[in-house]
Structure 1
Amino acid sequence: MNAADRRILDAAGITDPRLRAAYARCRRLHARHGRTYYLASQLLPPWKRPYVHALYGFARRADEIVDNGHPATRAEEFRAWSDRALTQLAGAAPAEDPVTLALRHTMDRWELPLGQVEAFLGSMAADLTVTDYPTYEDLRRYMYGSAAVIGLQMTAVLEPLCDEALPRARALGEAFQLTNFIRDIAEDLERGRVYLPAEDLERFGVTRADLARTPTGGRVRELLRFQIDRNRQLYAYAVGGIRMLHPTSRPCIETAYRLYSGILEAVEEADHDILGRRVSVAPVTRLRVALPAYARARALWRTA
């Protein structure tokens, strides 16, 4: 455990050695695999950060099994892991997996309902068998578990000031995931999945084969323009929820919003030609967004 781990765990009042090791494990997962999300989380007061790392660490553990497990055994492995996790999170058995232990402590601390975790695991299980979604409403039902409940869990830690913050947090979780779906079309297709609604593909005359061709064809570019417009409308509603959070939480979510929505700008700057490469926000842009936000965040920590 490094000094950064010790500092945030001390700030959160987490003293049990096993819990501290579990949270440190989640932070490492977050730092390694969730670069944008992790960068934004550093703008939270130190005492809030372990709980955000725990939420990410558990989600990452599920993703790792579903996306990178052996094709012949991952469904069985995921079912066994998720069944154990739910039993342990319900308090019916000791939590053995570090990410489950950290999440259980986080759920107790912030009174997060088990049903949200059940919804998340249900959507992760869908990725084992479901390869496309006929309509946008079908996709939204999937995103409730895979993204919206993460937004709702995060909101508890971010300390909402009113109930209206919750539907906007749900929308922001969906908006972040839609951005990932647009950016990761080629990567998802390699796994046999398409997260753009089939009704939208049909509307623009796009087939799965079109999504696998490079350079990106004209009809696919039109489809992407449509998806980006939908994504931005969702962001426009969700971003109003930032002012409904505790002031010390706002720089984190403002930064996450600016960086994630910046991915859409990167897609447009590439003229939507993204099927042969993974676009991202340039490091200099990330620093230009994050550094002033960090200065604002530190000032808020001192006055909170």
Structure 2
Amino acid sequence: MSRIVDGSAHTSAPVLAAYRYCETVTGQQARNFAYGIRLLPQEKRQAMSALYAFSRRVDDIGDGDLDPATKRVRLEETRAVLGRVRDGEVSEDDTDPVAVALADASRRFPIPLGGLDELIDGVQMDLRGETYESWDDLKVYCRCVAGGIGRLSLGVFGTVPGARDAEHASSYADTLGLALQLTNILRDVREDAGNGRTYLPAEDLAKFGCSAGFSQPVPPAGADFAGLVHHEVRRARALFAEGYRLLPMLDRRSGACVAAMAGIYRRLLERIAADPEAVLRGRVSLPGREKAYVALRGLAGLDTRHAARGRA
């Protein structure tokens, strides 16, 4: 699909069109993700868009209005597409632009495509209506739907030569994914309850008197909802602190991308911590100007330097 001439990659028109499709999907639907990947050079930005577009397809199946049996069929069809990508069976003339882009990206970069299998596994866990007794149980789910994405992204970013502690880069990427996912779970606690889903560990809900759930814009009667949120916030902060150790291992623009995406979620987490009940009243988010500020801060390397000094 791409050929190397004089040390640079020359991409065919069909593959470029496939990447443009994925970048359009990313720009229209990615929200926080898009702020980070704008900071990447073209080839990495294209590859990340291909990963996002495939991941979005999986998520849309899980969140769509189809009946569970049809969703399971669609997920297995999507897994079959991933198998074709992995086996080198997708040509540039394939009618699926996401498959074309992902196949090209996986040739350019050492992307561990098994992370996308894990994402499909995670959505299947949602279809089974799984709940989680403990944080250790919830971590399994978070690693499927977010930790794997962190490891996939690291395949695109790579680490700088001679980076200290680089053998742990994959673990840090995974942990940062967990931090982002736990933040998502806190932000979406009422929306998920409305869809019949409960992600927070049952033992945490019981500890803070929140086992009745979150179907109303106020906490359950007698619940220490703020205590529950602050408990999970402390857990997420610790995950961010460990995951931020990845930043000094990345080149400047890849580090800026990760710092931007993680920084947006970290600020979202602190906004939730400041007003825990806000997540029951509506969707907590950051204004666009604040997201742009975080992206510029990442590009300036501020968060990378903080991580290097252990103050993330």
TM-score, with length taken from structure 2: 0.84
Which residue number in structure 2 is paired with residue 222 of structure 1?
227
Taking the aligned partners of 1:292 and 1:171, their CA distance within structure 2 comes to: 22
1:241 deviation in Å? 1.2
1:58 deviation in Å? 0.5
1:206 and 2:210 matched = yes
Which residue number in structure 1 is paired with residue 310 of structure 2?
none
Letter in 2 for 1:133: Y
Q: Cα–Cα, structure 1 residues 36 and 14, in superposed 2: closer, same or farther, change >3 Å?
A: farther
Which residue number in structure 1 is paired with residue 47 of structure 2?
51
Checking the alignment, whether the CA contact within 8 Å between 2:190 and 2:216 is kept in structure 1 is no
Letter in 2 for 1:166: S
Which residue number in structure 2 is paired with residue 246 of structure 1?
251
1:293 deviation in Å? 4.2
Taking the aligned partners of 1:291 and 1:247, their CA distance within structure 2 comes to: 12
1:184 deviation in Å? 0.7
1:19 deviation in Å? 1.6
Letter in 2 for 1:152: R
The worse-fitting range, judged by mean Cα deviation, of 269-278 and 135-144 is 269-278
Letter in 2 for 1:216: P
1:271 deviation in Å? 4.2
Q: Cα–Cα, structure 1 residues 196 and 292, in superposed 2: closer, same or farther, change >3 Å?
A: closer
Taking the aligned partners of 1:14 and 1:124, their CA distance within structure 2 comes to: 36
Letter in 2 for 1:130: G
1:92 deviation in Å? 6.5
Q: Cα–Cα, structure 1 residues 219 and 114, in superposed 2: closer, same or farther, change >3 Å?
A: same
1:292 deviation in Å? 4.8
The worse-fitting range, judged by mean Cα deviation, of 171-180 and 190-199 is 190-199
Letter in 2 for 1:286: K
Taking the aligned partners of 1:199 and 1:234, their CA distance within structure 2 comes to: 20
Computed over aligned residues only, the root mean square deviation of the Cα atoms, in angstroms, reads 2.2
Query: In percent, how many aligned pairs have the same letter?
Result: 29
Q: Secondary structure, in 3 states, of the residue corresponding to 1:275?
A: helix
- Report the count of equivalent residues: 285
1:91 and 2:87 matched = yes
1:284 and 2:289 matched = yes
Letter in 2 for 1:178: L
Which residue number in structure 2 is paired with residue 265 of structure 1?
270
1:74 deviation in Å? 3.4
Checking the alignment, whether the CA contact within 8 Å between 1:14 and 1:20 is kept in structure 2 is no
Show structure 1 runs of 4+ deviating over 4 A.
292-297
**Among residues 234, 240, 255, which one is paired with 2:239 in the alignment?**
234
Checking the alignment, whether the CA contact within 8 Å between 1:216 and 1:273 is kept in structure 2 is no
Which residue number in structure 1 is paired with residue 12 of structure 2?
16
Which deviations, in whole Å up to 9, do the C-alpha atoms of 1:131-162 show, x marking residues without a partner? 42122111111122211111011112112132
Q: Cα–Cα, structure 1 residues 292 and 90, in superposed 2: closer, same or farther, change >3 Å?
A: closer
Which deviations, in whole Å up to 9, do the C-alpha atoms of 1:144-202 show, x marking residues without a partner? 22111110111121121322222111100111111111101111122211111111111
Taking the aligned partners of 1:149 and 1:208, their CA distance within structure 2 comes to: 31
Q: Cα–Cα, structure 1 residues 14 and 274, in superposed 2: closer, same or farther, change >3 Å?
A: farther
Structure 2: unaligned runs, 5 residues or longer: 1-7, 161-165, 303-312
Letter in 2 for 1:182: L
1:178 and 2:174 matched = no
1:103 and 2:88 matched = no
Q: Secondary structure, in 3 states, of the residue corresponding to 1:111?
A: coil
Taking the aligned partners of 2:301 and 2:102, their CA distance within structure 1 comes to: 29
Letter in 1 for 2:177: G
Bigger helix fraction: 1
Checking the alignment, whether the CA contact within 8 Å between 1:134 and 1:197 is kept in structure 2 is yes
Q: Cα–Cα, structure 1 residues 102 and 202, in superposed 2: closer, same or farther, change >3 Å?
A: same
**Among residues 170, 173, 190, which one is paired with 1:169 in the alignment?**
173
Which residue number in structure 1 is paired with residue 157 of structure 2?
158
Which deviations, in whole Å up to 9, do the C-alpha atoms of 1:96-129 show, x marking residues without a partner? 4222222222222212234322222111221111
